[in-house]
Amino acid sequence: MTSIDIPQIGHLIGGETVLGDLREIRDPGHLDDTVAQVAVGSASDVDRAVRAAHAAFDGWRRTSPAERAKLILAAADVVAGAGADLAPLLVREHGGVLWEAQTDFGLGTGVLQHTASLVEDFSRPVQYDDEQSFISVERVPRGVVAAIVPWNMPVVLTMMKLAPALATGNTLVLKPSPFAPAALTILLTRMADLLPPGVLNVVHGEGDVGAALTSHPLVRKVGFTGGIATARKVIESTAGTIKNVTLELGGNDPAIVLDDVDIDAALDRMLKGVYTRTGQICFAVKRIYVPRGLYQRFADAFCDRVNQYVVGHGLDPEVSFGPLNNEAQYKKVTDLIDRTRNSAATLLTLGSKRDADTWDNGYYVLPHVVRDVAHEAPISCEEQFGPIVPLIAYDNEQQALDWANDGEYGLGASVWTTDPQRGLALARQIEAGSTFINTHSFESLDLRMPFGGVKQSGIGREFGTAGLSEYVEEHAIRHLK
Ligand code: NAD
- Check if 282 has its Cβ closer than 6 Å to any atom of ligand 1: yes
pLDDT digits (tens, 9 = 90+) for 133-151: 999 999 999 999 999 999 9
- Check if 177 has its Cβ closer than 6 Å to any atom of ligand 1: yes
Question: What's the chain's average pLDDT?
Answer: 97
The pLDDT, as a whole number, for residue 5 is 80
What CATH number is associated with residue 299?
A: 3.40.309.10
Global model pTM greater than 0.95 = yes
* CB-CB neighbours of 396 under 10 Å: 11
Q: Which domain holds residue 431?
A: 253-447
Mean pLDDT, rounded, for 387-399: 98
* CB-CB neighbours of 430 under 10 Å: 19
Judge whether 335 lies within some domain. Answer: yes
Q: Taking 50 as the threshold, does the pLDDT of residue 3 lie above it? A: no
State the Cα–Cα distance between residues 172 and 49, nearest whole angstrom: 9
Residues 241 and 262 grouped into a single domain? no
Residues 298 and 241 grouped into a single domain? no
- Check if 178 has its Cβ closer than 6 Å to any atom of ligand 1: yes
Number of domains in the chain: 2
Judge whether 395 lies within some domain. Answer: yes
Judge whether 221 lies within some domain. Answer: yes
Residues 242 and 319 grouped into a single domain? no
- Check if 385 has its Cβ closer than 6 Å to any atom of ligand 1: yes
Judge whether 291 lies within some domain. Answer: yes
Residues 93 and 212 grouped into a single domain? yes
How many angstroms separate the alpha carbon of residue 231 from the centre of ligand 1? 8
In a 13 Å sphere around the CA of 336, the CA atoms on its Cβ side amount to: 23
Mean pLDDT, rounded, for 21-26: 97
Q: Taking 60 as the threshold, does the pLDDT of residue 2 lie above it? A: no
Residues 208 and 328 grouped into a single domain? no
Q: Which of 282, 383, 431, 470 is an active site residue?
A: 282
State the Cα–Cα distance between residues 147 and 207, nearest whole angstrom: 13
Mean pLDDT, rounded, for 306-315: 98
SS (H, E, C) the chain: CCHHHCCEECEEECCEEECCCEEEEEECCEEEEEEEEEECCCHHHHHHHHHHHHHHHHHHHHCCHHHHHHHHHHHHHHHHHHHHHHHHHHHHHHCCCHHHHHHHHHHHHHHHHHHHHHHHHHHCCEEEECCCEEEEEEEEECCEEEEECCCCCHHHHHHHHHHHHHHCCCEEEEECCCCCCHHHHHHHHHHHCCCCCCCEEECCCCHHHHHHHHCCCCEEEEEEECCHHHHHHHHHHHHCCCCEEEEECCCCEEEEECCCCCHHHHHHHHHHHCCHHHHCCCCCEEEEEEEHHHHHHHHHHHHHHHCCCEECCCCCCCCCECCCCCHHHHHHHHHHHHHHHCCCCEEEECCEECCHHHHHHCCCCCCEEEECCCCCCHHHHCCCCCCEEEEEEECCHHHHHHHHCCCCCCCEEEEECCCHHHHHHHHCCCCCCEEEECCCCHHHCCCCCCECCCHHHEECCECHHHHHHCCEEEEEEEEEC
Percent with pLDDT over 90 in the chain: 99
State the Cα–Cα distance between residues 310 and 350, nearest whole angstrom: 9
Residues 344 and 308 grouped into a single domain? yes
Sequence-separated (6 or more) residues with CB below 8 Å from residue 468: 115, 118, 119, 122, 164, 167, 168
State the Cα–Cα distance between residues 313 and 97, nearest whole angstrom: 7
Question: In the annotation, is 431 catalytic?
Answer: no
Name residue 145's beta-bridge partners: 172, 221
Residues 83 and 178 grouped into a single domain? yes
The pLDDT, as a whole number, for residue 376 is 96
Question: In the annotation, is 282 catalytic?
Answer: yes
Residues 350 and 225 grouped into a single domain? no
Identify the band that residue 323 occupies on the pLDDT scale cut at 50, 70 and 90.
very high
How many angstroms separate the alpha carbon of residue 363 from the centre of ligand 1? 19
Judge whether 379 lies within some domain. Answer: yes
Residues 190 and 319 grouped into a single domain? no
Mean pLDDT, rounded, for 380-397: 97
Judge whether 453 lies within some domain. Answer: no
In a 13 Å sphere around the CA of 65, the CA atoms on its Cβ side amount to: 19
Residues in the chain: 481
Judge whether 373 lies within some domain. Answer: yes
Judge whether 156 lies within some domain. Answer: yes
How many angstroms separate the alpha carbon of residue 138 from the centre of ligand 1? 33
Name residue 140's beta-bridge partners: 473
Mean pLDDT, rounded, for 201-221: 98
pLDDT digits (tens, 9 = 90+) for 341-362: 999 999 999 999 999 999 999 9
Q: Whose CA is nearest to atom 42 of ligand 1?
A: 282
Residues 267 and 300 grouped into a single domain? yes
Residues 346 and 398 grouped into a single domain? yes
pLDDT digits (tens, 9 = 90+) for 83-127: 999 999 999 999 999 999 999 999 999 999 999 999 999 999 999
For the CA of 248, the closest atom of ligand 1 is 41
What CATH number is associated with residue 44?
A: 3.40.605.10
State the Cα–Cα distance between residues 157 and 180, nearest whole angstrom: 12
Identify the band that residue 4 occupies on the pLDDT scale cut at 50, 70 and 90.
very low
Residues 262 and 220 grouped into a single domain? no
Structural contact between residues 115 and 450, judged by C-beta atoms closer than 8 angstroms: no
For the CA of 214, the closest atom of ligand 1 is 20
How many angstroms separate the alpha carbon of residue 395 from the centre of ligand 1? 36
